[in-house]
Amino acid sequence: MDDIVVGPLDLAARVDDALAVQAVAFGLTAEEVGVRRHIVLRHLTNPGARALGATTPGGRLVGFVYGMPNDRGHWWSTVVEPYLRATGTEEWLDDVFVITELHVHPAFQNRRIGRTLITALTADAAEPRSILSAIDVESPARALYRKLGYRDLARQVVFPSAVSPYVVMGAELPLPD
């Protein structure tokens, strides 16, 4: 990770910096960034929500992760629940920490930043396992999640307005360093 520092992130204060990273990493339009800004700020009001950031010595945010304990009443849970029920893995929605977003600027990828962010965030989780969703294609992100012990729980999950289907993955905690 060279000179990149991972630590607590006041995501509400740096939401625009974080979304700039996500926009580049995920290919978001300005309109999508605007929608996600409201979503991130709303998520941060949930009990147990927390974030970590990866910054350069000059303070540039180059990666971030945030998550929270799952609540079956949250929109994400209501979308993935039928898919998990169909695969017999619905219990993964209970007593689980959700990785809501994890993004690293492409110029800083392949330096173990994403791995450090997700393992550090989940290390403090009170829940015994973690769950997340990712685009359902073979990608460096999915390879990382598998190395950390995440396994596919449900595939071809369709979120409203999403262009591509997603996979829901879960792992027992703690994640390996």
Q: How far does the chain reach from its first CA to its final CA, in angstroms? A: 14
Q: Hey, which bits of the chain come out as E strands?
A: 5-8, 50-55, 61-69, 97-104, 129-135, 151-157, 166-172
Query: Measured between alpha carbons, how far is residue 50 from residues 11, 64, 121, 135, 137 in Å?
Result: 8, 11, 8, 23, 27
Radius of gyration of the chain (CA): 15
Task: Say if residue 1's pLDDT is above 70.
Answer: no
Residue-level pLDDT at 161: 81
Query: Which domains, and CATH codes, for the chain?
Result: 3-170 (3.40.630.30)
Section 91-99 average pLDDT: 98
Section 61-69 average pLDDT: 98
Q: Hey, which bits of 22-159 come out as E strands?
A: 50-55, 61-69, 97-104, 129-135, 151-157
Which one is predicted more confidently, 177 or 156? Answer: 156
Mean pLDDT across the chain: 96
CA 67 to mean position of chain CA atoms: 6
Task: Say if residue 15's pLDDT is above 80.
Answer: yes
pLDDT, tens digit, for every residue of 110-168?
999 999 999 999 999 999 999 999 999 999 999 999 999 999 999 999 999 888 999 99
